[in-house]
Structures are given as C-alpha cells and as structure tokens.
Amino acid sequence: MEKFIQKNSGINKIIGAESEKQESDLLGFFAKEINNTNDKTKEFERVELKKSPETRKLISDIIKNMGEFLLQYGVKAVNVSPDNIAMLDYSKLTDEQKEEIKKENNQGGYYPWRQKIIANIDITKKSSAELTEIIAHELIHLNSFQSLQTTSKDDREMVLQRAKSKELAYLKRRRIGLSIKDKENKELGVFIDEATTSELTARFCDFFFSKNETLKEAAEKKKKFIEENVPPQKKAEAQNDILEVKTKQQESGEYKTEIISYSYPKWREALNIIIDELFERNKDKFSSREEIFNLFADAHFSGKLLPLARLLEKSYSKGFFRFLSEISKKERS
C-alpha cells in the first residue's frame, strides 16, 4: 500500500486536462473551495441546522480521529473543519425532500463540487452514534480516490472559469472510490463502493467510540447486549454489524430494545461473503481475511483497481469484477 496518499481537497486527478498547468489550476480551485468555510452551503442555508457547542465538539473529534484512523490505510486525511459539514433541519425540509431522503435512504451526502458534507438528520430521532456514523461515512467518501474529467458543454456537471485567462473548463465526475461513471453517465460500482465505505465506517466507529466521552456509554451498552444475547460464535459478527442498541420506554410502560445497524447491511453482508470466499480460495497467498479487505480499501483510496480485479477474476471467473460493478448500475445526478 502506498505511503502516504495526500491531497489538498477531495479531488485527486483531472482527466483530459490540456496541460499540467490546467490540471494544477483546477485542482487548486477545489483546494480553495474546501478551505472556504465562510462560503457555506448557500443552497441549504434556509434549512441548515445551527450546531450546538456539543455537536460541534463531537464533529471536531470525529475529524481528528478520522485522521488518525486513515493513517493505517496509507491515507493522510484531507484537512476539513466542522464548517465543511452542514446539518439540515429535517423539520424544515419539504415533503418532497423528505420523501426523497426516505426513498434513497440518503441520510448523508458528499458534494464534490462544493467540497462539503451534508447530514440530512431528524435531530429528534437520531443519536450521537447515528450522527457519528453519517459523518464518518461521508468523510471516508471525501478521502477516497476521486477523479473528474473534462468534457463538452452539453455533457458537463460543472463549469469553472480560470481567473486570469477567463478560459472555461467543463467538468463531470469520473471516479469516486470504487464507483465510476461510464460513457452513458450511468454509475458503476455503487454496491462495492458503498459496502467498502460502510465496512470502513464500522471499523472507525469501533476505534472512536471507546475514546469519546459522549459515545462511551453507547459502546458499553452495545458490548453488554452482545455479551448477554449473542451466541459466542456470532459475537464478532454482531460487533461488526451493530452500530447501537437503544432502549425506549413505550406508552404502555414496557421497554423496547431497538438494534441500529450500520448503513447498507445487505451490501456489507454480500461483500463479507466475497471476502470470506476469497480468503478460503487463496490461503496460500494471504494470512488473514483482513488482508483481503485491505485490497478493497487500497483500491478505494489509491484508485489502483488492478490488484483487486486480478484476484477477483482469478478466484471466480473472467469478467467478475465487471459483474460486481454492474449489479448496482444506476443513474446518479
């Protein structure tokens, strides 16, 4: 794994730039954008939730610990602040916006053009643990390998004007992590990208919860629940699958326990089945299944797909990596 991947914004590369100077100028724009915390998400200004001092401190701690966490994957985290993260007041969203969030299960989003993270959060229902997962998940997207490509005026997602020459550059997304846009502007690899991101998020939360005073209680409650309710052979799996255990008193006076899982549980389950099978088929080359997962993580952060693709196609069949990329093929705005 390359030591260390470092960049000044979420964007690693501009494909099709006319010169190194043009690519440098365009990358510089996004570096300025991520540092321009005074230019808040104006399109969300009406519905942006003001962060309490406690929430701001939690977000600061997430950012700080994410930097430490990502070092084990060869990544120096992009420098962000709590002002790069906008929390939307769910009560102020329109019914249409709420329905879209529900339909897409879109609790958070990373916006590469603005270099911002949005948390679509119903503050009356979400806990500090759930907010942590949303923000950590999007920070991992932000720190993943990302490329844009120059394109035509009619195919653009964004247009930038160079300060001195006033030259226009038309851009669209190419890669974010393990997802890639094809020639038809369909996004390939959503499953493998989101499953890998969610796996990384679960590892981060295990790393972070025991270190943060706000979340220690949630970590201890989860540990106690697993010890008392989960068979020994399933404890490690439960630890990896469960984000939080909530206990609420009902109107009847009885208490109800609710188990909150990490995002994309079905996709994560499928990814873990693939990792287990890859390890079983390649024990002569790998000493642990974590080494297999690290190939997914390295491709996610470095953009180097070939080692992962070769292993998948050797272990299954030719074209298997393409198959994994296409099973979640979808339109993305």
Task: Enter the tokens of residue 205.
Answer: 């939360």
- Per-residue pLDDT for 187 more than 60? yes
* pLDDT attached to residue 212: 92
Parallel/antiparallel/unpaired status of strands 116-121 and 85-89 = parallel
- Per-residue pLDDT for 191 more than 70? yes
Question: In this predicted model, what pLDDT tens digit does every residue of 193-220 receive, in sequence order?
Answer: 999 999 999 999 999 998 998 899 999 9
- Per-residue pLDDT for 41 more than 60? no
Q: Whole domain around residue 234: which residue ranges?
A: 213-261
Structural domain contains residue 254 = yes
Q: Compute how many other C-beta atoms are within 10 angstroms of the C-beta atom of residue 144.
A: 27
Among 67-71, 73-77, 91-95, 266-270, the range scoring the smallest mean pLDDT is 91-95
Most confidently modeled of 33-47, 56-70, 113-127, 177-191? 56-70
Which residues, other chains included, contact 263 with Cβ-Cβ below 8 Å and sequence gap of 6+? 105, 107, 133, 137, 194, 198, 201
Structural domain contains residue 130 = no
* pLDDT attached to residue 1: 46
Structural domain contains residue 38 = no
Structural domain contains residue 137 = no
Structural domain contains residue 257 = yes
What mean pLDDT is predicted for residues 277-300?
96
Q: Compute how many other C-beta atoms are within 10 angstroms of the C-beta atom of residue 118.
A: 22
Cα torsion 10, 23, 28, 166 to 10°: value is -130
Q: Whose CA is closest to 136, among 52, 94, 198, 216? A: 198
Structural domain contains residue 100 = no
Q: Distances from the Cα of 13 to the Cαs of 148, 157, 189, 298, in angstroms?
A: 6, 16, 19, 17
Structural domain contains residue 184 = no
Predicted TM-score (pTM) of this structure: 0.91
- Per-residue pLDDT for 328 more than 80? no
- Per-residue pLDDT for 36 more than 90? no
* pLDDT attached to residue 44: 66
3-state secondary structure of 80: coil
What mean pLDDT is predicted for residues 215-229?
94
pLDDT-derived band at 119, boundaries 50, 70, 90: confident
- Per-residue pLDDT for 333 more than 50? no
Structural domain contains residue 127 = no
Q: What mean pLDDT is reported for the chain?
A: 88
* pLDDT attached to residue 255: 81
The total number of structural domains in the chain stands at 1
* pLDDT attached to residue 106: 66
pLDDT > 70: percent of the chain: 91
What mean pLDDT is predicted for residues 151-177?
86
pLDDT > 90: percent of the chain: 62
